[in-house]
Amino acid sequence: MSASWSFADAIFYFIALLTVVCGAYAVASRNIVRAVFSLLGTFLGVAGLYAMLSADFVAVVQIMVYVGGILVLLIFAVMLTSRIEKAGRSNPAARPLAASLGVLCGLASLVLLASLALLAPWKQTAAGDFAPTTAPLGEALLAEALLPFELLSVVLLGVVIGAVIIARRDPEVGG
Amino acid sequence: MIHVGLQHFLVVAALLFCLGLTCVLVRRNAVAILIGIELILNAAGLNLIAFARFGGDLLSGTVFVVFLIVLAAAEAVVGLALIIAVHRRLRDIDLERSDELRG
């Protein structure tokens, strides 16, 4: 707790900067391909922040699901829906009035949330040591969280069937 | 050991949330709006883990975030299927021009 930065602090600020800058580029870029690829930095940065919060299992799941799954899905959607010669202006903003109202909403909520985060008297306990969370998480998922866990598998089944039906090539034939 | 506390993580999550909100409000490409929703969900997960870590019960926060990640993946799958269906019908995913249902 010295006044100088420790090594862990430097890592935190580096990861936080990576996360926010990549997220800002994903929002601001006019090229949807670049926006999607810049999300890679955001997802990896959030995984790093999870690891710094001692949530090792969630960090690995974040990399596997977001980087390995959702990002690939987004890239597929971009490749299937936009022509490559128009990629440079594939991500237009709304009309100027609507866009400035949107940015204003974002800034207002940022001021609100940041001042809330910094000023509210959060009740904090000292963070414990780093400990693996996988084994207790597995026990929790098969004990007190068993019902939501099983419901989630039903939800996933419904999502897979629904996505196949929605994206089917010819809804009239055989529907 | 670590000098950064709860508030540092909350500020990062607030920044991510506001970026996602701005993306949803400003962009017209449907894929960009899904990107904004993913940013918002990431901010929520970061908040959950941060509160769990500094509130003393990391395990329940971890369970919440695992469920959140699964639901985010489900949302992305359905959203992208809808985008592909809209693109097949209208040849465009610009949400200001996809107004076939407007009365």
B58-101 tens-digit pLDDT: 888 999 999 999 999 999 999 999 988 888 888 777 777 777 66
Which of residues A173 and A102 earns the better pLDDT score?
A102
Is residue A74 scored above 60 in pLDDT? yes
CA B53 to chain centre: 21
Nearest residue to A32 (alpha-carbon basis) of B71, B32, B3, B17: B32
Closest residue in A to B10 (Cα) is A117
Q: Does A17 touch chain B (CB under 8 A)?
A: no
**Which CATH number does B6-90 carry?**
1.10.287.3510
Q: Taking all residues of chain B, what is their mean pLDDT, rounded to a whole number? A: 88
Query: How many whole angstroms separate alpha carbon A23 and alpha carbon B37?
Result: 12
Cβ within 8 Å, pair B78-A159: yes
Strand partners, B94: B29
Which of residues B93 and B23 earns the better pLDDT score?
B23
- Interfacial B residues in 69-88 facing A (CB < 8 Å): 69-74, 76-78, 80-85, 87-88
Is residue B102 scored above 90 in pLDDT? no
Q: Span A129-157, mean pLDDT?
A: 91
Inter-residue contact B70 to A63 (CB < 8 Å): no
Quick one: pLDDT band at residue A172, thresholds 50, 70, 90? low
- Interfacial A residues in 53-112 facing B (CB < 8 Å): 53-55, 57-58, 61-62, 65-66, 69-70, 73-74, 76-78, 80-82, 90-94, 98-99, 101-103, 105-107, 109-110
* Contacts A5 to B, Cβ<8 Å: 3
Cβ within 8 Å, pair A46-B45: yes
Quick one: pLDDT band at residue A94, thresholds 50, 70, 90? confident
The structure's pTM equals 0.89
Query: For residue range A155-171, what is the model confidence (pLDDT) as tens digits?
Result: 999 999 999 998 887 65
How high is the pLDDT of residue B10?
93
How high is the pLDDT of residue B103?
59
Nearest residue to A27 (alpha-carbon basis) of B73, B24, B72: B24
Q: ipTM value, please give it.
A: 0.89
Cβ within 8 Å, pair A57-B12: no
How high is the pLDDT of residue B1?
47
Cβ within 8 Å, pair B73-A55: no
Query: How many whole angstroms separate alpha carbon A24 and alpha carbon A68?
Result: 21
DSSP annotation of A84 reads G
Instruction: Report in angstroms the alpha-carbon separations of B95 from A13, B87, B99.
Output: 37, 11, 7
Is residue A90 scored above 90 in pLDDT? no
Cα torsion B82, B85, B87, B89: sign? negative
Inter-residue contact B73 to B42 (CB < 8 Å): no
Closest residue in B to A90 (Cα) is B29
- Long-range CB contact pairs, A156-159, < 8 A, 24+: A156/B70, A156/B74, A159/B74, A159/B77, A159/B78
Tokens in use for A24?
Answer: 């800002």
Q: Span A116-124, mean pLDDT?
A: 85
Inter-residue contact A43 to A67 (CB < 8 Å): yes
Q: Taking all residues of chain A, what is their mean pLDDT, rounded to a whole number? A: 87
Cβ within 8 Å, pair B78-A76: no
Q: Span B31-53, mean pLDDT?
A: 94
Query: How many whole angstroms separate alpha carbon B38 and alpha carbon B51?
Result: 20
How high is the pLDDT of residue A131?
83
Distance from CA of B80 to the nearest CA of A (A): 6
Q: Where are the domains of chain B?
A: 6-90
- Give the three-state DSSP class for B29: strand
* Continuous segment of H or E residues that includes residue A14: helix A7-28
Quick one: pLDDT band at residue A175, thresholds 50, 70, 90? very low
Annotate chain A with DSSP letters as a single string.
--SSPPHHHHHHHHHHHHHHHHHHHHHH-S-HHHHHHHHHHHHHHHHHHHHHTT-HHHHHHHIIIIIIIIHHHHHHHHHHHS-GGGGGGSS-B--HHHHHHHHHHHHHHHHHHHHHHHHS----PPP------HHHHHHHHTTTTHHHHHHHHHHHHHHHHHHHHHT-S-SSTT-
Q: Does A9 touch chain B (CB under 8 A)?
A: yes
Q: Span A63-72, mean pLDDT?
A: 92
Quick one: pLDDT band at residue A84, thresholds 50, 70, 90? low
